[in-house]
Amino acid sequence: MKIKFFLRVFFLCVVSALASPSYAQSGAGADPRSLIDALSKADFGEAEKLIGQLAATGDARLVPALNAFSEGDLYFRKSDNLVFIGKVSGSSYELTDPVTGASAGQAAKNAVTKIKINNSLRRVIRSAMGGLTLMSPDRGIRLQAADAVLRSPSAENLELLETAISKETDGEVKARMVEARAVSLLSSDRSIDEKRAAIATIKNYGGRNAIGILMGASASLDPSLKADVDAAIASIESGQRLWDIGQNVWYGVSLGSVLLLAAIGLAITFGVMGIINMAHGEMVMLGAYSTFVVQQVIRDSAPGLFDWSLAIALPVAFLVTGAVGLVIERGVIRFLYGRPLETLLATWGVSLILQQTIRSIFGPTNQEVGNPSWMSGSFPVGGMTITWNRMWIIAFSLSIFVALLVVMKKSSFGLNMRAVTQNRRMASSMGIKTPWVDAFTFALGSGIAGIAGVALSQIDNVSPNLGQSYIIDSFMVVVFGGVGNLWGTLVGALSLGVLNKFLEPSVGAVLGKILVLVLIILFIQKRPRGLFALKGRAVEA
Amino acid sequence: MTFKSKLGGALIAAVMSTTALQGAFAADDTIKIGVLHSLSGTMAISETTLKDVMLMLVEEQNKKGGVLGKKLEAVVVDPASDWPLFAEKARQLISKDKVAAVFGCWTSSSRKSVLPVFEELNSILFYPVQYEGEESSRNIFYTGAAPNQQAIPAVDYLAKEEGVKRWVLAGTDYVYPQTTNKILKAYLMSKGVAESDIMVNYTPFGHSDWQTIVSDIKKFGSAGKKTAVVSTINGDANVPFYKELGNQGIKAEDIPVVAFSVGEEELAGLDTKPLVGHLAAWNYFQSVDADVNAEFIKEWKAFTKNDKRVTNDPMEAAYIGFNAWVKAVEAAGTTNTDAVLDSIIGVSVPNLSGGTSTVMPNHHITKPVLIGEIQADGQFDIVQETAPVVGDEWSDYLPDSKNLISDWRKPMSCGNFNVASGKCGGKGS
Amino acid sequence: MISGFVFRALEGRIVTAVGIILAIGILVPALNLLTPADSALHIPTYVMSLFGKYLCYALLALALDLVWGYCGILSLGHGAFFALGGYAMGMYLMRQIGPRGVYGNPILPDFMVFLNYKELPWFWHGFDWFIFAMAMVIVVPGLLAFIFGWFAFRSRVNGVYLSIITQAMTYALLLAFFRNDMGFGGNNGLTDFKDILGFSVQADGTRAVLFFMSALMLSLCLILASAIVRSKFGKVLVGVRDAESRVRFLGFRVENIKLFTFVVSAMMAGIAGALFVPQVGIINPGEFAPANSIEVVVWTAVGGRGTLIGPIIGAILVNGGKSFFTGAFPEIWLFALGGLFIAVTLFLPKGIVGTIQHGFKARKALKAAADAEKGRGDATTVAQAQAAE
Amino acid sequence: MNMISETRQKSLLYLENVSVSFDGFKALNSLSFVVEPGELRAIIGPNGAGKTTMMDIITGKTRPDTGTVLFEDTIDLTKKDEADIAQLGIGRKFQKPTVFESHTVWDNLELALNRSRGVFATLFYTLSPEDKARIGEILETIRLTHRSQEYAANLSHGQKQWLEIGMLLAQEPKLLLVDEPVAGMTDAETAETAVLLKEIAKTRSVVVVEHDMGFIRELGVKVTCLAEGSVLAEGSIDFVSNDPKVIENYLGR
C-alpha cells in the first residue's frame, strides 16, 4: 500500500519533471507544435503551464501564436485536435500554422472550436511574450517587452533580462529593463543585498506602481528587508503628495472644460440673447449624433480616414445643428422676443420633439462613437497621469472659447450681434437686419453646442438622453458666471469643475455635487447677478 | 354654465366613452397581455428593447396558434420613466384593458410602484430584470437574477480563477447597488476578506466624470494584492466609466472589472477594444452556444429587420417569463389569475442557454450563472457556467432576512415566512 | 375683517368653479361606489384614481400660479415642495404599516431593515401620529420656502437667476433623496402602504374619501387663493409682478410680500403632494426631478397663468392628454406633447383661460377706448380752459 | 461752514459730498444739495449729469460710496432701503411712467394710499369711506375721475404720468421727487402739469428733474444745474441760464 503510494508520487514527479520548464529547456523533445496542440484539451490551469513551457523554448517564432491566443484567435480543429491561428473570412476561418505561419487552408465555422482564454492566462502570455521578445531587433518591440515583463514580473525572466540588459544600447529601453529586472529580482531567490539594491532602484523610479510593487513584495521578502521597503514606500509617497494635488487640479480643469463646452453655446443663446433655451442640450446631442453618422460613413466607405473622423465631424456638426437652430429660431423663437419665460416653454417642447425624433431614427440605445487613436490612452507627467482625450478636450474647449470671443469682439457680425441684443430698435434703425442677426446668432449658439457635442461624444453616452444630462449644469454655469458675459462662463465653468473635484475625494461624488449646488444657491444670494455682473443703471433698465 | 364646467364635463365624458368603447369592442377570441415598458424618458434606452421582444414573442406565439386557441394581443403603453405613471398605467392595463398578465418594469422603483396595484387588482406581473431581492409578492414573478444568481458566483469566480484578494465595490447610489454591496460585503467577510481590503464607492445617477474614482481605484489596486472591481454602476454611467478605464490604461489583466448591469446592449454603444477581458455576470449571453439561442437570435434579427441588433439577459428573462406564462395558462385551461398562479409553480421551460428554467414556489426561477469576458467585437466570451441556481429572494447574508423564506404553494402561501418564529410576516394570508 | 377677506374671494366665477369641483368631488366617488359595474353611469376605480391624481396636480399648478402668475416669480422648483409634502404623508403611511412589513419589524420600515438600520432616525419620530404628520405636510415645505425665500428675496435675486436657483434647489434635493443614507428609502422611495387612519388605502371607500378630500382641498385652496388675489395684498402682488420698483417706492416691503406668497404657495404644493401619495401609492425622489417642476410650469402656461382657473384646467388637460396619448400612441406621444407646448406659446400666449378672458376684456377695452377718446377730449378741454385762465 | 450748519437746522433733504461710481465711471462727484421744507425745486443737466443717480441715492436704490444723505436733519437715508424711505415720506416718479398697467386707475390709487403696508394689514384691508373719499379727491386732482374703472394700460401717455403723480399724492409724502414729468406730453398737458405741480408744492416739497426749459420757466422756481456729477450752478432760471458754465455745458449745445 505504502509502496504503491510512493510509486504513484514518484511517477507524478517524473511526469511533471518531464513537462517542467527546466526539462524542456534542456532541449529534449520540447516540440513547440505539440505543446500548442496540447492547448486544445487544456483547462485554464494546464494552459498556464503549457504557456510557461512555450516561453521556456525561447523560440521567437512562437510570438504570433501567443499573440493570437491572447486575442482569442487560436482555434483547434474538431476532427484532429490540431491547433491553428484562425481569422474570420466570410462564413469560415482562414487557418495558419501557429509555428511556421504557413497557410493551412480554410475551415467552416462549426469545424473548429475557439480555445478559451481568460485574464490570468492573458497575464501569463504577456509575461511570456515579453521574455521572448526582449532581444527583438525592433526597438519598439523591445520596449513593449520590457513593459510587459515589468507589469507581470516573474523570476524566470530574470536571467533573460540580465542578458538583454547587457546587450541593450538604447537608453530608454535599457532603463525600463533595469526596472523590470529589479522588480523580477524581488520574487527570485537572489541574495538579500541584491534585493536591497533592487528596492533602491524601484524607489528611484517612484510613482504609484512602485508602491504597489513594493507592498506586494514586502510580504514574501526576508524580514530584514522590511525596514528598507517601508522607507522606500514612505519616500515615494511623500514625493507623490504634491503630484496628487496637481492631478486633482487637472481633473478639476478637465471637468471644468467639459462644463465649459456644454455651456458655451448656451452662453450665447441664453446669455447674450436672453432665450431660456431648454433645447440647448438637444443641440449638443445632435452634434454627437452627427459625429456618429460621420464615423459610420467613414467606417463603411473610407476606414483609413478614421483618425480624421472628428475633424470631419466638426464642420458637419456645426452646420447640422446650426441649420436646426436656424429653423427653430425662424419657426418658433422669433415670435417670442421680449417674452423670455415663454421661450422656456416653447424650447422645452422643441427639446421633447428633437429627442423623440432622434429616438425614432436611431433607436433609444447608445450608439458607438469611437476614439481616434490620438485620443486614446494616456501619458505620465511626473507623478501625474494625463489622458489624451481629456487633454484634447481642454485644448478644444479653450480654442472654441477664444474663437467665439474673437467673433464677438472683432467681426462685423459680432458687432451687429451686440448692437441688436443691446438695443434692438436702435440697431434696426441703423440699417442692421435684426431678424437675420437674431437668426444667425441663435444658429451660431446652436452650432457651437453642436461642436461641443462632437467632443462630448468622446467621453459620454451617445443616446437621445445625452442633452438632458448637461442642460441643468449648463444653466448653472452660465448663471454662476453671470448672464451675458463670456468670461464669466469660462471662469464659472473652471471654478465649478475644480471645486467639484476637490470636494469629491473628501465627501464623495454624490454629496460633492449636492454641496456644489448649495454653494451656487448661496453664492447667488451674495451676488444676485453672478460672478461677472454688469453694474450700473443700464442693468436695471 | 361656464367654460370650465363644459370642459370638465367633456373630459369626463371622453374618458368614460373610451372606457366604454374599449370594453364593447374587446373581441372574445383574443387574450390581451400588457406590455409596461418606458418608451420615453431616461429608461427608454433599456426598456424599449424589451417591448420589442414582447411583441416578437406574441407574434411567434400567434403563428403557433396562440394560447387556448385564441390569438394573443399585446397592449403597449408608455409609462415614460415616471414611477407614479407606472402605477397609473398598470391600473389602466388591468382594469380598463382587462389584460390577462403584464410583462414589464425595469427599475426597482417602477416595480415597487406597481406592486400594490397588482396585489389589489389580483393580476400577474412578470419582471424580467436582475434586482436586489428582498421581495416576494404573490402576484409577481421575478425572472431576472436575484443577487445569488449573479453577484455571488461572480465574486467566487474572481476569487478562485483570478486570485483576487482586494475588492472595490463601486455602484450608483441607489437601492440595488446598496443592497447587493451589503450582501457582497457580508459574503466576502464571511470568506475571510479583511474590511480594509474592501472599498465601497457610490456615485450619483448618470455620473459622467469618472477621473477621480478611476484613479482612486488605481491607487487602491496598487497595494500589492490582486484587486478587482465589482461594478453595480447603472446603465447610463457605464459608458463614460469604461471609457475612462480604457484611457487611464486599467487593463483587465491588472484590475478586472466585473459588472452586473452591463450587457450586449450597453456594449453596443462602446468601443470595446480597450475593455477586452473585463467581465460581466449574467444568466445569458448572446454568445451562448445553443441551438435554441441561435434560433432566437435569428428571429430577433428578422423581427427588428436589423442584422446588428444584439440580444441580452433581460430579453432571455422576458422570453422565459412569457413561455412559462403560456405553459401555465395552457395547463390551467384559463387565464384566470388564481388558476394561473397555481399552475405556474413548477412549470419548466427551455431557457436560451440550452437548459431549462423552472418557476419555483418563491416566484423566482432557476437559471445557470454565466461569467463572460468582454471581447473586441462587443460580445462576451463565456469563461464559466454554473449549474442552475435557484433565485434566493431573501438573502442569507443579511441578518434580518436570513430567517425568511417564501413559498406561494398552498397551504403556506406566504411570501415572507419566518422559519425562526414559524409565522408568516405582514403579508399573505 | 376676515369675513370680508373670505367674502371677496367668492366672486361669481370662483363660486361656479368651486361648485363644479365639489360636485365632481362628490359625484365621481358616488358613481363609483353606488352604481353597479355594468351601469352606463359607473365610473371605474381606475378613472377615479386618475382624476384624483389630476386634482392633486391641479392644486400644485394653482400653487405655482400664485407665485408665477400673480407675483412674477417663476419657480422651477415647485416639485420639491410637492415632493416634501408627499414624503411627510409617505412617512406617516410607512409608520402605519407597523409590524405588517415583510420583516415584521414593528418600528422600522422594511427598507431600513434590509439596509441594517438599528434604530429609527430622529426625523422619523412623531410621524406615526397623524396630526403631527399632517402638520409636517405644510410645515416642512413652508419652512424650506421660508428659508430659501428669506435669503433669495432679501438679496433681490430675481428673474431668471431666481428660476435657476430654485431649479438648483430641487436638483440638490433630488440627489440628496436618492442617497440611501438619507433615510428616506433611496430611489425606491416609500411604498407598499397599508392604511390611513385605520382604513385600507386600497379600499374603494378610502379611495372615494381621498378623492373627495382632493376636491375639497383644491376648492379650499382656490378660495384662499382667490381671497388673496382679490384683497389689497393681491393687488400689490400683481404690482410686484408688473412694476416691482414702483411697489418698493410706494413703501411696500417687496421681500415680505414675495416671501409670504412663496410660503403659502409652497404649503399648498405640500398639501397637493400629501394627497397625491396615498392615491398613487408611492413617493420617490423622481418627484424632485427638475423636469417635473418644468412640467408644472407648462400646465400653468397652457391653462393660463394669472388666472386662478387656468392652471386647474391646464393641469387636468395636459395630464389627461398625457394619460390618453401614452396609452393610445405610445411611440409618438412626445411629438404631440412637444407640439402642444409650442403651439400654446405661439398661438395662445395667455393660455386657454387667459385667451378667453382676454376676449371679454378686449370687448370691454373697445368700449373703454371709445370712452377714452371722449375722456381725452374732456381732459384737453379742461387743460385748455385752465391754460386760458 | 457756518452757513451749512445753519441750513442743516431746517433742511428737509440734505446731501453733502456724495460720490458714487459704477465700474470706474464717476456718476456723482462730491455732490452737495439741500432742499428746504415746502420748496419746489427744479433740476436740470445734460444726459449723464447724475440726475437720476442722485434720485436713486435719495430713494435708497443706490448706495453712495461716500457722503452724507439726511432727511429732516436726523435720518440717515444711506442706512435705509426703498420701502423705509418711502414710508418716511419720500415719493418718487420715474422717468418712464410706471403705473400698474393691469390694475384699474382706482386700484392704482388704492395701492398707493398711505395706509399700513404690512402683509396681513393688506390681506385684510377693506376700503373705508374716508379712503374712498380721499381717492375720489385725488382722482379729481389728476382729472381721471371719469376713467377710474379702466385699466391703467389703456390710458394715454400723459394720463399715465398724471396717474403716477396721483399715486404719489396718495402716498402723502413730505418730499416728492419727479423725474421728467412732461416728457412726451402735448403742450396743453405740459401746461396743465405745471399747474398741478405748483398746486402740490403748496403742501409739500417737490424736486423736479426736467429737460424742458419752457416748463421750468413756467414753474418759476429755484433751479439747480448738474453736470458731471456735481452742482454747476444754482439760482433762478434766468440766473442759471445766463451762467457761462451752464451755457457751455448744457444750453449751448
ipTM exceeding cut-off 0.95 for this assembly: no
Q: pLDDT at residue B13 above 60?
A: no
Residue D182, pLDDT score: 82
Residue B391, pLDDT score: 93
Nearest CA in chain D to C386: D192
Lowest model confidence (mean pLDDT) among B342-356, C13-27, C356-370: C356-370
Residue B9, pLDDT score: 47
Residue B7, pLDDT score: 44
Instruction: Give D43's contacts (C-beta < 8 A, 6+ positions apart).
Output: D51, D54, D207, D208, D209, D210, D223, D224, D225, D226
Chain B residues lying within 8 Å of A459, measured CB to CB: 208, 240, 243-244
- Write out pLDDT tens, residues A159-176: 888 888 888 888 888 888
Separation CA C352–CA C186 (nearest Å): 39
**Min Cα–Cα distance to chain C from A342, Å:** 6
CB contact under 8 A, D123 and C251: no
Q: pLDDT at residue C255 above 90?
A: yes
CA distances from C142 to A401, C177, C219, C268 (A): 43, 18, 20, 9
- Write out pLDDT tens, residues A117-136: 888 888 888 888 887 888 78
**Min Cα–Cα distance to chain C from D108, Å:** 9
Domain boundaries, chain A: 1-30, 31-133, 140-221, 244-373+384-540
pLDDT band at A24 (very low <50, low <70, confident <90, very high): very low
CB contact under 8 A, C242 and D87: no
Joined grid coordinates for residue B88: 397609473
- C112, containing H or E segment: helix C110-114
CB contact under 8 A, D53 and A537: yes
CB contact under 8 A, A346 and C332: no
Q: pLDDT at residue B278 above 90?
A: yes
C184: three-class secondary structure by DSSP:
coil
CB distance D68 to D4 below 8 Å? no
* Percent of chain B predicted with pLDDT > 90: 59
Question: Of C28, C30, C22, C65, whose CA–CA distance to C47 is shortest?
Answer: C28
Could you tell me which residue, D252 or D212, shows the higher pLDDT?
D212
Could you tell me which residue, B247 or C209, shows the higher pLDDT?
C209
Chain D residues lying within 8 Å of A533, measured CB to CB: none
Q: How far apart are the first and last CA of chain B?
A: 51
Residue C367, pLDDT score: 66
Residue C372, pLDDT score: 52
- Write out pLDDT tens, residues A178-205: 888 888 888 788 888 888 888 888 888 7
CB distance B312 to B106 below 8 Å? no
Separation CA B305–CA B70 (nearest Å): 27
Best residue of C228, C231, C238, C246 to probe chain D, by most D CBs closer than 10 Å: C246
Separation CA A311–CA B413 (nearest Å): 64
Residue C369, pLDDT score: 57
Best residue of C70, C231, C232 to probe chain D, by most D CBs closer than 10 Å: C232
Q: pLDDT at residue D30 above 80?
A: yes
Touch of C by B (3+ CB pairs closer than 8 Å): yes
pLDDT band at B138 (very low <50, low <70, confident <90, very high): very high
Nearest CA in chain B to C189: B109
Residue B93, pLDDT score: 94
Ramachandran sector of residue A484 (left: φ over 0; alpha: ψ -120 to 50; beta: rest): left
Beta strands in C76-194 (DSSP E): 190-191
The one-letter code for the residue type at B371 is I
CATH 3.50.50.60, applies to B151-259: no
Nearest CA in chain A to D63: A536
CB distance A454 to A369 below 8 Å? no
Residue C374, pLDDT score: 52
Nearest CA in chain C to D164: C246
Q: Provide the mean pLDDT of chain D.
A: 84
The one-letter code for the residue type at A158 is L
* Percent of chain A predicted with pLDDT > 90: 29
Domain boundaries, chain B: 151-259
DSSP character at residue A304:
G
Separation CA C353–CA C346 (nearest Å): 15
Averaged pLDDT for residues C203-209: 90
Averaged pLDDT for residues A447-451: 95
The one-letter code for the residue type at B84 is P
- Write out pLDDT tens, residues A279-288: 999 999 999 9
Touching C: B residues 21-80, CB under 8 Å: 39-40, 76-80
The one-letter code for the residue type at B429 is S
Residue B162, pLDDT score: 87
Q: Is A536 on the interface with D (CB under 8 A)?
A: yes
Domain covering A244-373+384-540 in this structure, CATH number: 1.10.3470
- Give the 3-state DSSP-derived string for chain D, with helices as H, strands as E and coil as C: CHHHHHHHHHCCEEEEEEEEEECCEEEEEEEEEEECCCCEEEEECCCCCCHHHHHHHHCCCCCCCEEEEEECCCEEHHHCCHHHHHHHCEEEECCCCCCCCCCEHHHHHHHHCCCCCCHHHHHCCCCCHHHHHHHHHHHHHCCCHHHCCCEHHHCCHHHHHHHHHHHHHHCCCCEEEEECCCCCCCHHHHHHHHHHHHHHHCCCEEEEECCCHHHHHHHCCEEEEEECCEEEEEECHHHHHHCHHHHHHHHCC
**Min Cα–Cα distance to chain A from B231, Å:** 16
CB distance A384 to A484 below 8 Å? no
Q: Is C6 on the interface with D (CB under 8 A)?
A: no
Write down which chains contact chain A via at least 3 CB pairs under 8 A: B, C, D
Could you tell me which residue, D197 or C82, shows the higher pLDDT?
C82
Torsion sign (Cα): A526, A529, A531, A537? negative
- Write out pLDDT tens, residues A409-441: 889 888 888 888 777 788 888 888 888 899 999
Q: Is B262 on the interface with A (CB under 8 A)?
A: no
CB distance B330 to B69 below 8 Å? no
CB contact under 8 A, C17 and B2: yes
Averaged pLDDT for residues A365-390: 85
The one-letter code for the residue type at D129 is P
Q: What is the pTM of this model?
A: 0.88
Residue D2, pLDDT score: 44
Residue with cell 452724507: D68
Could you tell me which residue, C8 or C65, shows the higher pLDDT?
C65
Nearest CA in chain B to A465: B42
* Percent of chain D predicted with pLDDT > 70: 94
- A386, containing H or E segment: strand A384-387
Lowest model confidence (mean pLDDT) among A91-105, C116-130, C355-369: C355-369
Separation CA A529–CA A535 (nearest Å): 9
CB contact under 8 A, B87 and C284: no
Nearest CA in chain C to A270: C160
Interface A-B: count of C-beta contacts within 8 A: 166
Separation CA B156–CA B152 (nearest Å): 6
Q: pLDDT at residue A151 above 80?
A: no
User: Sheet harboring D25-35: ordered strands across?
Assistant: D25-35, D13-22, D66-71, D75-76
Chain A residues lying within 8 Å of D23, measured CB to CB: 535-536
A77: three-class secondary structure by DSSP:
strand
Q: Is A454 on the interface with B (CB under 8 A)?
A: no
**Min Cα–Cα distance to chain A from D12, Å:** 26
Q: Provide the mean pLDDT of chain A.
A: 84
Could you tell me which residue, C70 or A530, shows the higher pLDDT?
C70
Lowest model confidence (mean pLDDT) among C174-178, C284-288, D95-99: D95-99
Chain C residues lying within 8 Å of A528, measured CB to CB: 155-158, 161
CB distance C165 to C157 below 8 Å? yes
**Min Cα–Cα distance to chain B from A501, Å:** 7
The one-letter code for the residue type at C266 is A
Backbone angles phi, psi at B124, to 5 degrees: -120, 135
Q: pLDDT at residue A144 above 90?
A: no
Instruction: Give A75's contacts (C-beta < 8 A, 6+ positions apart).
Output: A83, A84, A85, A86, A93, A95, A107, A112, A113, A114, A115
DSSP character at residue C188:
G
Q: pLDDT at residue D7 above 50?
A: no
Please provide the size of chain C in residues.
389
**Min Cα–Cα distance to chain A from C295, Å:** 9
- Write out pLDDT tens, residues D109-168: 999 988 888 888 888 888 889 999 999 999 988 888 988 898 998 888 888 888 988 998
**Min Cα–Cα distance to chain A from C168, Å:** 6
- Closest in A377, A460, A500 to B249, CB measured: A377
Chain D residues lying within 8 Å of C246, measured CB to CB: 94, 98-100
Residue C366, pLDDT score: 65
Residue D250, pLDDT score: 64
CA distances from A358 to A443, A446, B94 (A): 20, 17, 32
Peptide bond into B411 cis (omega under 30): yes
Backbone angles phi, psi at A503, to 5 degrees: -80, -35
Q: Write C123-131 long-range contacts (CB < 8 A, 24+).
A: C123/C183, C124/C91, C124/C95, C124/C183, C127/C88, C127/C91, C127/C92, C127/C94, C127/C95, C128/C92, C128/C95, C128/C96, C130/C92, C130/C197
**Min Cα–Cα distance to chain A from C101, Å:** 30
Q: pLDDT at residue B103 above 60?
A: yes
Q: pLDDT at residue A476 above 60?
A: yes
CB distance B316 to B356 below 8 Å? no
- Give the 3-state DSSP-derived string for chain B, with helices as H, strands as E and coil as C: CCHHHHHHHHHHHHHHHHHHHHHHHCCCCEEEEEEECCCCCCCHHHHHHHHHHHHHHHHHHHHCCCECCEEEEEEEECCCCCHHHHHHHHHHHHHHCCCCEEEECCCHHHHHHHHHHHHHHCCCEEECCCCCCCCCCCCEEECCCCHHHCHHHHHHHHHHHCCCCEEEEEEECCHHHHHHHHHHHHHHHHCCCCHHHEEEEEECCCCCCCHHHHHHHHHHHCCCCCEEEEEECCHHHHHHHHHHHHHCCCCCCCCCEEECCCCHHHHCCCCCHHHCCCEEEECCCCCCCCHHHHHHHHHHHHHHCCCCCCCCHHHHHHHHHHHHHHHHHHHHCCCCHHHHHHHHCCCEEECCCCCEEEECCCCEEEECCEEEEECCCCCEEEEEECCCEECCCCCCCCCCCCCEEEECCCCCCEEEEECCCCEECCCCC
Separation CA A267–CA A492 (nearest Å): 11
Interface B-C: count of C-beta contacts within 8 A: 184
Chain C residues lying within 8 Å of A361, measured CB to CB: none
Separation CA A308–CA C338 (nearest Å): 37
Q: Provide the mean pLDDT of chain B.
A: 88
Instruction: Give A407's contacts (C-beta < 8 A, 6+ positions apart).
Output: A413, A414, A444
Question: Of C303, C317, C29, C309, whose CA–CA distance to B15 is shortest?
Answer: C317
Could you tell me which residue, A451 or A57, shows the higher pLDDT?
A451
Separation CA D52–CA B379 (nearest Å): 73
Q: Is C243 on the interface with D (CB under 8 A)?
A: yes
Nearest CA in chain B to A366: B269
CB contact under 8 A, A537 and D23: no
pLDDT band at A35 (very low <50, low <70, confident <90, very high): confident
CB contact under 8 A, D86 and C251: yes
Residue D115, pLDDT score: 84
**Min Cα–Cα distance to chain C from D242, Å:** 28
Separation CA D84–CA D78 (nearest Å): 11
Separation CA D202–CA D38 (nearest Å): 7
**Min Cα–Cα distance to chain C from A156, Å:** 49
- Write out pLDDT tens, residues B147-167: 999 999 999 999 998 889 999
Q: Is B9 on the interface with A (CB under 8 A)?
A: no
